[in-house]
Structure 1
Amino acid sequence: MTYLIIGFLIIGGIAFLFANSKNKSEETLQKMSTISVKYQSEKEIENLSNDSLTYSEKLNKTKELYPFEKWRKNFLEYQMEQYTEENCNEAKNIFDNLISKLLKIGENGNRNEKEKYFEIAVKSLNKLNEKDEGIIETGEREDLCELIDRITLASGLKPKNYAEGEGIADLYREW
């Protein structure tokens, strides 16, 4: 099923490329790439559930996807002032707290409680973005939504069950 969806996206993207300008085409390819990664990520995490990884290991493995080091590099390389050490640490702490809470309630923890932890995390990101507008732009939004989807899957929830398949972040995010 995943391969069919990815194939459909690629074929649709090629047709779209011929119908639009170069800039639009590049934007479409980037979106298609993000969608493909999202489907691959879900499949990857589902496969992890068949592996010998524990709940704790799955959640902690999502920390490898933290984008905050990349953000810090943008601060240094491109003088993107919104990616200060303070802002990057605050974003990282939001995810560390989310994962910590999910670990504390455990794999068989209450689904509503897990969902509440995601709500708190996303609303905390909203506040961070309000404090320093522009910290969560298009690329960062994609990074964060992907990370949240991966954590959602690792916690035993399914992103496709939220916000008409867009993921739990879309229920609360303002960025």
Structure 2
Amino acid sequence: MTPELQALKDKTLASMVDYMRNDEEDADHDPEFDPGYTQAEVDRCAEIVDEYLATLAAIDEASEAKRDAAILAAVERVVLQLNRLNEDSEGSLIETDQREDLCELIIAAASHAGLETEGEDITEEWREW
């Protein structure tokens, strides 16, 4: 994994954990706060992202058309898995910031694997978050 992709992954997961923790020193701290998801769901998100990145790393460069099809299939699979995970947390896990970070990570990884995205959001077709 490139340092850029690792940084994007770390940023995404850290924002999920930070929101979940609700800092007790914050003036707006609410001891009854429930983020709607658990560390287990954040960990599952990390696993899904890792599986996606591993899939992309394993794609051979047979032909551009086959490579692009394999990359898009991996994008579809990761987005559908994230849809299910977010649905399991009743839509709480992936909020606006996380959506933007996840999309950036998915698109950057696909681009790094060889897909020319031309600034297009390649997740939009399947994304429900």
Q: Into which bin does the TM-score normalised by the smaller protein fall? A: 0.7 to 0.9
Query: Between the two proteins, what is the percent identity of the paired residues?
Result: 30
CA distance in 2, matches of 1:80, 1:120: 29
Query: Aligned-pair distance for 1:83?
Result: 4.3
2:85 aligns with: 128
Higher helix share: 1
2:27 aligns with: none
Q: Which runs of 5+ in 2 are unaligned?
A: 24-32
Bigger Rg, which one: 1
Q: Does the C-alpha gap of structure 1 residues 154 and 86 become closer, same or farther in structure 2, counting only changes over 3 Å? A: same
Q: Does the C-alpha gap of structure 1 residues 126 and 154 become closer, same or farther in structure 2, counting only changes over 3 Å? A: same
Normalised TM-score (structure 1): 0.58
Greater length-normalized contact order (CA 8 Å, ≥ 6 residues apart):
2
Q: Which runs of 5+ in 1 are unaligned?
A: 1-56
The runs of at least 4 aligned residues of structure 1 exceeding 3 Å deviation read: none
SS of the residue 2:127 aligns to: coil
1:75 aligns with: 20
Query: Aligned-pair distance for 1:69?
Result: 1.9
2:28 aligns with: none
| Contact preservation (8 Å) 1:72, 1:83 | no
2:5 aligns with: 62
Q: Deviations over 1:85-113 (max 9, x none)?
A: 1111111111100111111123x152211
CA distance in 1, matches of 2:123, 2:117: 9
Normalised TM-score (structure 2): 0.77
| Contact preservation (8 Å) 2:37, 2:89 | no
Give the residue type in structure 2 aligned to 1:121.
V
2:30 aligns with: none
1:85 aligns with: 39
SS of the residue 2:36 aligns to: coil
Structure 1 stretch 71-80 or stretch 115-124: which is displaced more? Answer: 71-80
The 5-angstrom pairing of residues 135-154 of structure 1 reads 135-154=93-112
CA distance in 2, matches of 1:111, 1:166: 14
State the Cα RMSD in Å: 1.9
Q: Does the C-alpha gap of structure 1 residues 81 and 93 become closer, same or farther in structure 2, counting only changes over 3 Å? A: same
Equivalenced residues, count = 113
